[in-house]
Structure 1
Amino acid sequence: MEGPYLSTVSETIQAAIAPVFLLAGIGAFLNVMVGRLARIVDRARNIEQLHPRSTGPEHDRHVWELRIIDRRIAVINNAIFLCTASGLAICFVVAMMFVSRLANWHIGIWVAISFIISMLLLMAGLIYFLVEVRMSLEAIHVREELLELDRKK
């Protein structure tokens, strides 16, 4: 049995460069999302410490914010899952490219389908990320009483 020619491996590596760059981008984006998750968890822990001692409107505000944080954690977790699945699908694409080339299998349709699935997963992850960002804006809405809009200058 004859091994793969260097030119075959080299051409496959060249073809795999674009998906590998995409994988690097997904990794950087996952880093951002995990950072957001850490900040959300930190905020939840801070409010959980204040919550038992709070009363009245402040207690209601803590409960409201904890509910938003709980939803944000679920949404960002979904975004992380979907983007990770997208990255795994890209890895599968690269592996299939090599197997196809080295074993002379004609599985281009499966490579294309895997790439499309990866893009759909990435799109879904980005949508969840956008939803979480919008939710975070709702959570940091400044209360009117703190703005002192009715105060005379």
Structure 2
Amino acid sequence: MNIQISDIGHVIQLAIAPVFLLTGVATKLTVLTNRLARIIDRSRVLEDRLQVNHDIQYTAELDILYGRAHLINAAITLSTACGLLICVVIAMLFLGDTTSLPLDRYIAAFFVLAMVALIGSFCFLLREIFIASKHMRIAHVARRARGR
């Protein structure tokens, strides 16, 4: 097994696209964790207010926040799975080329799984955004109705 410099260069070229995808997934994970942190911060404020004043409005908003947190957690899980699968694809690209193992079907299957996980993550993020936007509109209408 004599690996030439040009062979390594070819494998690196093949691995660059998944590496860029991995960078995008990492950026998406940052966005998701920031959204989760904002949800957690808001829920802590509401839980403190709920201890002082047992208002049904706080309980309703907490229920919405818990649902949003669940969706974001699912999106984080799927994004992380996508990142791990992309790492496996990159490793298999190198392994397949350096050992001449026929890993092309496995590479394709893991890449498709990574894309399915990424699509699922985007779906959960979009659902969470729709819920947040809907709640914001409802709160705005309620404030206007009270005359604030």
Common fold: TM-score over 0.5: yes
Q: How many residues align?
A: 147
Shift of the alpha carbon at 1:138?
Answer: 2.8
Equivalent in the alignment of 2:71: 75
Please give the residue correspondences for 1:95-110 in structure 2 after superposition, counting only pairs within 5 Å.
Answer: 95-110=91-106
Residue aligned with 1:11, SS: helix
Residue aligned with 1:142, SS: helix
Separation in structure 2 between the aligned mates of residue 21 and residue 35 of structure 1, nearest angstrom: 21
Superposed CA offset, 1:5-32 (max 9, x none): 1111110000110000000001001100
Counterpart pick for 2:121 among 122, 125, 136: 125
Shift of the alpha carbon at 1:143?
Answer: 4.8
Identity of matched residues, %: 33
Separation in structure 2 between the aligned mates of residue 145 and residue 26 of structure 1, nearest angstrom: 37
Shift of the alpha carbon at 1:132?
Answer: 0.8
Do residues 22 (structure 1) and 21 (structure 2) align? yes
Shift of the alpha carbon at 1:146?
Answer: 2.0
Separation in structure 2 between the aligned mates of residue 142 and residue 96 of structure 1, nearest angstrom: 50
Equivalent in the alignment of 1:8: 7
**CA RMSD of superposed structures (Å):** 1.7
Separation in structure 2 between the aligned mates of residue 71 and residue 64 of structure 1, nearest angstrom: 11
Counterpart pick for 1:138 among 134, 138, 142: 134
Separation in structure 1 between the aligned mates of residue 43 and residue 117 of structure 2, nearest angstrom: 28
CA gap 1:73/1:4 in 2 versus in 1, 3 angstroms: same
Equivalent in the alignment of 1:92: 88
Which letter maps to 1:67?
Answer: D
Gaps of at least 5 residues in structure 2 are none
Residue aligned with 1:106, SS: coil
TM-score (norm 2): 0.93
Equivalent in the alignment of 1:147: 144
**Largest Rg, 1 or 2:** 1
